[in-house]
Amino acid sequence: MFQRKTQTAEYWGATFRFSEEDVLHLYETLMDRGVPCSTDDLVLALIDFRCQQEEAYLRAELSKGTLYQPKEDYEIGQRLVFAAFDFAVGTVVEKRAGRNPEHGEFNVIAVQFEGQPHPREFAAALQTPHKLNLDDGRQALLEPKGLLSPAELKETVAADLGPRLAAYLETMAGDSFVQSDGRWLLRGLLADVNIGHLNIAEALIEVENRPLPAQRLLEELHLPAEIPAEIALFSLNYALEHDERFDDLGAAGERLWYLRRLEPEAALVTPAPLRYTPQPYDRLLLSMEWLSLEWELGDEWSEEVVEIPVQAPSVTMVLTYPHRRAGTLPLSFRTRPFFPPGERGRGMVTLIDGRWGRRFNAMVVYERRYVVGLGDWFEQHNVPVGAYIVLERGKEPGEVVVDIRPRRMRREWMRLGRVEADQLVFEMRKLPVSCEYDELMVMDALDPVAVDDLREKLSWRDVPLATLLDRLLPELLKLSPEGKVHSKTVYSAVNMVRRCPPGPIFATLLSSRRYRHVGDGFWALA
């Protein structure tokens, strides 16, 4: 049975190539619609165009002769169309009786195809069934049943056409097509949004000191009334995203424009304490005990640590040294549900101080997995490394309450790190604390700048994790009368001078002969 090429995955597969006719059709589609179209819209238009092309080709080829079917008889000189050979046309040049007891009486016709040196033979007047026979003949090819629609083709055999089309049109973005937020328009249909309009937008955002949607900015730009609203909005968004002063902080499909110069530097450049370079390690070394501890720590860079999102009213996490130093919170599997959804770029969120009710802005840096803007809040409440931080959902979308577990101020013994001869050494000191904390994680730096310098040196020298642990564990073990140190403490100490999730740390300890696990997550010298 003949199958249309456009109905197959092979047609839309790796060998598919866009043609000048495709581009012209998409150009005309955008011109006729006169509004921005999504990539999906253009994919549907392209699939429909290719299907129509195939139908037109099929009708044109069938008009060149009689459709060959083995059950029919043909005469010398008759022109036949062979659907099985991509509608090749041939002329019957000979005819004779066939001889085959299995098929009864039939004829053999010799057909000469253009460009071939010799004719080919086919059966005719065949009385036995054959797959090339059609009940309705030519009409069955022109109006077949069960064809997939363009929308069905897009979801099945042409499922990956969207990204490929978008990438192809991007190559022509300087000529005809322009794209903004996954929608396309012809460059000639763009409204004139000039530097004066953009200066007004900049001033308005600065005055209101918050991200604004393009629709709000349009109200002050006074573009010509005859420009369709969709074109005006698209044109402004396109102009804003191509001006380096502006940054899109929207999430979940919403576009909100802000000024890069008003954003904290840590939102644009990852703070040094948070810079993480993944390293290979044998994850099979981690038994259920260590995977459970990894899950408990909830590091944002841990592998395969997943949790089903739930609408919990609050979540508690432990503040680590890198985030305390950078004035950030981790965007982990545990904390991510409390912030506006997003995968790329940045977004703004309003944080509410759970102690004083003060509201302040913070920025979510999705790809680099942190929330920046809490440095002043940490200082105001004297929040130490190891403190329990509580996040609660705000009353309005985009609001998050951030709090500590307060208690009466008193002085507590804490680990204090200092740098000596390019080595991080620890001692115990009493420091004032006014919140609850994890005793295994709590520690601080006597001179944070010196620790920063040590971190840079270790990074520049590319010191192996095993070497770093060999330097840190003796320092931590000397603080314990029992001569043992917990895995959480090791994790916390390592992250003072090297950003690292618990998985590689645990695996390195487990594979080392210098240390032995003495139970409950504690380590001692072997």
Domain 272-407, classified CATH 1.10.3720.10, yes or no = no
pLDDT of residue 58: 81
Q: Which residue is listed with tokens 């016709």? A: 109
Identify whether the C-beta of residue 112 lies closer than 8 Å to the C-beta of residue 121: no
Q: Which residue is listed with tokens 């008889």? A: 73
CA atoms within 13 A on the CB side of 257: 26
CATH number for region 70-133: 2.30.30
Q: Which H or E run contains 37?
A: strand 37-38
Confidence of residue 84 (pLDDT cuts 50, 70, 90): confident
Tokens of 516: 């032995």
Tell me the residue type at 498. Answer: R
Identify whether the C-beta of residue 181 lies closer than 8 Å to the C-beta of residue 233: no
Q: pLDDT for 389-413, tens place per residue?
A: 999 998 888 899 999 999 998 998 9
Residue 453, classed as helix, strand or coil, is helix
For the chain, percent helix, then strand, then coil, each to nearest 5? Answer: 35, 25, 40
Mean pLDDT check: name the lowest of 97-111, 189-203, 379-393, 413-427. 97-111
Spatial distance between the Cα atoms of 66 and 81, rounded to a whole number of angstroms: 6
Q: What pairing do the DSSP bridges indicate for beta strands 183-186 and 246-248?
A: unpaired
Q: What pairing do the DSSP bridges indicate for beta strands 443-445 and 406-420?
A: parallel
- The radius of gyration of the chain from alpha carbons, rounded to an integer in Å, stands at 35
The reply to whether 415-432+439-525 shares the fold of 190-262 is yes
Percent of the chain with pLDDT over 70: 95
Does residue 145 surpass a pLDDT of 80? Answer: no
Does residue 131 surpass a pLDDT of 60? Answer: yes
CATH number for region 190-262: 1.10.10.10
Spatial distance between the Cα atoms of 419 and 399, rounded to a whole number of angstroms: 40
Among the CATH numbers 1.20.58, 1.10.10, 1.10.260, 1.10.3470, which is that of 415-432+439-525?
1.10.10
Question: How many CB atoms within 10 Å of residue 341?
Answer: 13
Tell me the residue type at 316. Answer: T
Q: Which H or E run contains 303?
A: none
Tell me the residue type at 436. Answer: E
Name the residue among 162, 152, 153 with its Cα closest to residue 18: 162
Give the chain's end-to-end CA distance (angstroms, integer): 74
Spatial distance between the Cα atoms of 223 and 232, rounded to a whole number of angstroms: 8
Q: pLDDT for 197-222, tens place per residue?
A: 999 999 999 999 889 999 999 999 99
Confidence of residue 142 (pLDDT cuts 50, 70, 90): low
Tokens of 68: 């060959």
Q: pLDDT for 343-391, tens place per residue?
A: 778 989 999 999 999 999 999 999 999 999 999 999 999 999 999 999 9
Mean pLDDT check: name the lowest of 70-79, 146-155, 300-309, 382-391. 300-309
CA atoms within 13 A on the CB side of 331: 22
pLDDT of residue 341: 84
pTM, to two decimals: 0.74
Spatial distance between the Cα atoms of 348 and 229, rounded to a whole number of angstroms: 27
Q: Which residue is listed with tokens 């564990």? A: 473
Domain boundary assignment for the chain: 5-62+146-180, 70-133, 190-262, 272-407, 415-432+439-525
DSSP state of 318: E
Spatial distance between the Cα atoms of 262 and 206, rounded to a whole number of angstroms: 8
Residue 515, strand partner residues: 525
What does the DSSP assignment read for 341-380?
--SSSEEEEEEEETTT--EEEEEEETTTTEEE--HHHHHH
